[in-house]
């Protein structure tokens, strides 16, 4: 009998990719996807540990699932409950202590072993914990990726050796690892053959990707641009320290490479950047932004910021506002600093009061929102290539993404789903752009 799997994903795009691959791994065991946890025989929470709030969500979700699991058992059935991802990696034992009804706890580097874990959980009845960092990369054991729709993620790099003082990722994902170019190209070809038109390369430090024979990400992008059927390429998340000349040149040379780059800055203050161990100062970032825009004049930047890092003064924060005004960002994510157990910054003196963090975040977000709105407004009247990827809410309408990831809706025939079309933007809505064919 067909079994049903429900995966709930928290956190970053790497987790979105991992969730899809966990479903791929379990498909041969007869698991098809469920619409919700209610009709699932197995539920996986793929979790995020980046900020306290993210990690807390897992335990409240587990509380809800416990009831479903009990109801199912009472009706003579069974719901296997697994916790995967970065909270599992960081707090594996703690999860089993606080939530003993969980069957499987697995880290981000062991999900290729899921079939064994499921079998083991069925046999033993006790919980299975696997948060190892195995010597063998999981990628070597995964089945071919199944595409859903015309845009796909492709993980090329994992882990992080940068150790920014605020961040849990080096501990939850392990050391930097790059997949071989041949494996990346094979996966890209397989996705393109299934109708994928756009690939976003993923990695915690995606531009730190290196092949054994010395290729850097720019070279890989050039090879991907040759793959038949692929019309658009993106990559995320990049570190300013790893933006090399060849990668910048790729932005000038490859029309497939979208003119939109997520390049987190975190702070505009040299003092804070140093305390964060980011490995670059504000000048490096300003120069990078300039070089990227010279290479590709229509390029727009997106970024991440943290307010209230330990020791951040009003003067430091003013530097952040200043650099935001100078660079101009079209899309951003910004957060209050959240002390994470086991990271150096959590132990630093001069922790900033919550209220100050919040006030600074509100001021920064107002500025960033104004920049996003200005950019979106300036798009009205422009022509853009849009990848139409799904039906819209109204009949006869399709929705797609602009080069800048803005949702765009247009009246168009359904057979155009999966194509990149030329559109003229005619109006700005609160969460999308409206367009007509040109």
Which residues belong to the annotated binding site? 12, 48, 86, 160, 164, 167
Nearer to ligand SF4, 173 or 360 (CB): 173
Alpha helices in 329-389 (DSSP H): 354-379
H/E element, 67? helix 52-74
Assess 50 for contact with ligand SAH (CB under 6 A): yes
Assess 131 for contact with ligand SF4 (CB under 6 A): no
CB atoms within 10 A of CB 254: 16
**Whole-angstrom Cα distance, residue 408 to residue 416?**
14
Assess 306 for contact with ligand SAH (CB under 6 A): yes
**Binding-site partner at residue 163 among ligand SF4, ligand F3S, ligand SAH, none, CB < 5 to 8 Å by type:** ligand SF4
Which of these ranges, 149-157, 163-171, 310-318, 397-405, lies near ligand SF4 under the rule CB under 6 A?
163-171
Of residues 165-224, those binding ligand SF4 (CB under 6 A): 167, 169-170, 204-205
Residue environment code for 364-386, b if the CB has 16+ CB neighbours within 10 A, otherwise e: beebbeebbeebbeebeeeebeb
Nearer to ligand SAH, 101 or 335 (CB): 335
Strand order in the sheet with 128-130: 31-33, 3-9, 42-47, 80-84, 104-106, 128-130
Q: How far is the CB of 201 from ligand SF4 (least distance, A)?
A: 16
Assess 239 for contact with ligand SF4 (CB under 6 A): yes
Q: How far is the CB of 158 from ligand SF4 (least distance, A)?
A: 11
**Under rule CB under 6 A, how many of the chain's residues touch ligand SF4?**
10
**Binding-site partner at residue 170 among ligand SAH, ligand F3S, ligand SF4, none, CB < 5 to 8 Å by type:** ligand SF4
DSSP 141-174: GPPPPPP-SSEEEEE-EE------TT--HHHHH-
Strand order in the sheet with 300-307: 260-262, 300-307, 331-336
Q: How far is the CB of 203 from ligand F3S (least distance, A)?
A: 10
Of residues 148-177, those binding ligand SAH (CB under 6 A): 166-167, 169
Furthest-apart CA pair in the chain: how many Å? 65
Closest by Cα among 405, 398, 396, 404 to 421: 398
Closest by Cα among 190, 386, 360 to 272: 360
Q: How far is the CB of 217 from ligand SF4 (least distance, A)?
A: 15
Q: How far is the CB of 135 from ligand SF4 (least distance, A)?
A: 22
Pairing of strands 104-106, 80-84: parallel
In the complex, the residues that contact ligand SF4 under the rule CB under 6 A are: 160, 162-164, 167, 169-170, 204-205, 239
In the complex, the residues that contact ligand SAH under the rule CB under 6 A are: 50-51, 166-167, 169, 204-205, 237, 239, 264, 266, 304, 306, 335, 337-338, 340
């Amino acid at each position: 009998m067909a079994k049903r799997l429900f995966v709930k994903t928290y956190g970053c795009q790497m987790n979105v990719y991992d969730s899809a691959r966990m479903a791929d791994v379990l498909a041969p065991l007869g698991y098809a996807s469920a619409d919700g946890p209610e009709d699932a025989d197995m539920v996986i929470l793929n979790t995020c540990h980046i900020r306290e709030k993210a990690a807390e969500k897992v335990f409240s979700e587990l509380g809800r699932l416990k009831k479903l699991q009990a109801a199912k058992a009472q009706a003579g059935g069974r719901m296997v409950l697994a916790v995967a991802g970065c909270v599992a990696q960081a707090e594996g034992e703690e999860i089993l202590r606080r939530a003993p009804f969980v069957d499987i706890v697995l880290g981000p580097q062991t999900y290729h072993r899921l079939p064994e874990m499921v079998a083991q959980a069925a046999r033993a009845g006790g919980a299975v914990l696997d948060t190892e960092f195995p010597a063998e990369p999981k990628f070597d054991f995964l089945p071919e990726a199944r595409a859903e729709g015309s845009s796909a993620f492709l993980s090329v790099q994992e882990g992080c050796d940068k150790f920014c003082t605020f961040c849990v990722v080096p501990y939850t994902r392990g050391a930097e690892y790059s997949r071989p170019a041949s494996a990346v190209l094979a996966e890209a070809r397989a996705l393109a053959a299934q109708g994928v038109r756009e690939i976003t390369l993923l990695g915690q430090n995606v531009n730190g990707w290196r092949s054994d024979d010395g290729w850097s990400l720019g070279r890989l992008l050039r090879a991907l641009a040759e793959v038949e059927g692929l019309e658009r390429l993106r990559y995320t998340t990049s570190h300013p320290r790893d933006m090399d000349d060849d990668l910048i040149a790729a932005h000038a040379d490859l029309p497939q490479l979208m003119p939109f780059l997520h390049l987190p800055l975190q702070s505009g203050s040299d003092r804070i950047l140093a305390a964060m161990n980011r490995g670059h100062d504000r000048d490096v970032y300003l120069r990078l932004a300039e070089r990227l825009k010279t290479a590709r004049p229509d390029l727009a930047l997106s970024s991440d910021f943290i307010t209230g890092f330990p020791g951040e003064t009003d003067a430091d924060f003013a530097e952040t506002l200043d650099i935001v005004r100078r660079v101009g960002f079209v899309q951003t994510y910004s957060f209050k600093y959240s002390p994470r157990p086991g990271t150096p910054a959590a132990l630093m003196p001069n922790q900033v009061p919550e209220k100050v963090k919040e006030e600074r975040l509100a001021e920064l977000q107002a500025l960033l929102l104004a920049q996003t709105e200005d950019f979106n407004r300036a798009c009205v009247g422009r022509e853009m290539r849009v990848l139409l990827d799904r039906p819209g809410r109204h009949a006869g309408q399709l929705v797609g993404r602009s080069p800048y990831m803005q949702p765009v809706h247009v009246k168009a025939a359904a057979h155009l789903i999966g194509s990149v079309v030329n559109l003229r933007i005619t109006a700005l809505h609160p969460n999308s752009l409206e367009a007509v064919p040109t």
